Amino acid sequence: MAGPDKKNLWTQIGTYSSLGVMLPAATITGYFLGLLLDHWFGTHFLYIVFLLIGIAAGFMELIRIVSRNAQ
């Protein structure tokens, strides 16, 4: 019998499969937010800044979820 801190197999599968969606979603969101701001302010560099912020946010969430579940 599993201990009280062990999660159901399907719960673990759902958690880790969401990582495959979360990282690209954060990246795409950052990119399009940067494009929107570039269009709004008339600049041509904010999409790169927000793309990098989206990538960083995706990896931070990935590390947070994996480290939380590794305990």
- The domains of the chain are located at 18-70
- Own/partner contacts of 29-32, CB < 8 Å, gap of 24 or more, are 29/54, 30/54, 30/55, 30/57
* Top-confidence residue, 13 or 52: 52
| Span 22-52, pLDDT tens digits | 999 999 999 999 999 999 999 999 999 999 9
Q: Does the model's pTM come out above 0.85? A: no
- Give the Cα separation of 16 and 21 in Å (integer): 10
